[in-house]
Amino acid sequence: MKYVAYDQDGGPEVLHVAEMDSPQPREGEVRIAVEAAGVSRADVMQRRGEYPPPAGASPILGLDVAGTICALGEGVSAWHLGDRVCALVTGGGYAEQVCTPAGMVLPIPDGWSAIEAATLPENGFTVFDNMVTRARLRRADIVLVHGGTSGIGSTAIMFARALGARVIATAGSAQKCASCLNIGADEAIHYKTQDFVEETLRITAARGVDVVVDIVCGPYLARDIMALAFDGRIACIAVQGGPKAELYIPALMHKRGTIFGTSLRPRTPQEKKAIADGLRERIWPLLAARDPIKPLVDSVYSFEEAAEAHRRMEASAHIGKIVLVPAK
């Protein structure tokens, strides 16, 4: 099979197409013939040598795919050959075939193409676990989403709206703020020209927000606390603003706030299956309507164009998900 390889850590130019034998599913796994694979910031970090795959994971890039089940490992009964699916994988997505535990697989939603479905797994698992389960999102909560046009940010906006919350998003340009509103945010803050704390407190009449979905962290974390409502929750999902933060703890205590952080990739298949079960119950029934949760495909590249896809990711030029396909 063909896959996107890199022989050494480095810039996007190290990516190239190579060939290897197809993987064989182990007990409890399925093999998927990949029609589309999502591109994530984690892929960029791994290519640079900053985010090594966990023990036992495929060294091939790619954390989410969509396609057709083409082989079943021993003990798999929930899926059948030919099923149209999308899936979270711990690696190996940038390939014509990939194996993954059966519990991390979900059906392609009715009316969604494989390219559209490839936008769902990594973003969906991450947002559902952090915003819905751990941050205990409730109907009528107010959510502040940083980086509203990123894959995580756009998914958080749409999931929050679908579950009855009000959403304020931040973005770095007027165009991206307009995109946040189009995606479903109630308000958008241009963080380069506006103070997101002041704007959030103005929008909420000084109440603050119940949940913050933060992919920036670093210097944002102390300001998140200032924007928080009483008993608010801050989900730290990534550290694009840097790995360290300085906090004034009495401010957090005064707000009775909670800060938590998670990482999805190293978790067990059983833990990821629990997230998949939650998605199947609460999110998947909403997807056929394509509103308020809709496919948000920024651009599509072939495996041969993987370097260009990574350059677009690194430039933060994308709105939604960048997708790779084996061939155009």
What is the per-residue pLDDT across 238-247, written as a single tens digit (0 to 9) for each?
999 999 999 9
Q: Is residue 99 within 8 Å of residue 1, measured between CB atoms?
A: no
Instruction: Give the Cβ contact number of residue 173 at 10 Å.
Output: 14
Instruction: Give the Cβ contact number of residue 115 at 10 Å.
Output: 19
Write out the two tokens for 243. 């790995």
The residue whose two tokens read 């896959």 is 3
User: Which residues, in sequence order, are CB contacts of 73 under 8 Å at separation 6+?
Assistant: 25, 26, 27, 28, 29, 30, 31, 99, 102
Look up the pTM and report it. Answer: 0.95
Top-level CATH class of 2-119+265-325?
alpha beta
Q: Give the three-class secondary structure for 197.
A: helix
Top-level CATH class of 124-261?
alpha beta
What percentage of the chain has pLDDT greater than the value 90?
99
> Where in the chain do CATH 3.90.180.10 domains reside?
2-119+265-325
CA dihedral 278, 280, 285, 286 (to 10 degrees): 60
* Pair type for strands 297-302 and 15-19: unpaired
Phi then psi dihedrals of residue 302, to 5 deg: -80, 165
Cα–Cα distance, 134 to 248 (Å, whole number): 23
User: Which residues are paired to 233 by β-bridges?
Assistant: 211, 258
Cα–Cα distance, 170 to 268 (Å, whole number): 32
pLDDT score of 328 more than 90: no
pLDDT tens by residue, 109-150: 999 999 999 999 999 999 999 999 999 999 999 999 999 999
pLDDT tens by residue, 138-187: 999 999 999 999 999 999 999 999 999 999 999 999 999 999 999 999 99
Q: Is 110 left (phi over 0), alpha (psi -120 to 50) or beta?
A: beta
What mean pLDDT comes out for the span 36-40? 97
Write out the two tokens for 144. 């502040």
> Where in the chain do CATH 3.40.50.720 domains reside?
124-261
Q: Would you state the pLDDT for residue 280?
A: 98
pLDDT tens by residue, 205-247: 999 999 999 999 999 999 999 999 999 999 999 999 999 999 9
Q: Is residue 93 within 8 Å of residue 67, measured between CB atoms?
A: no
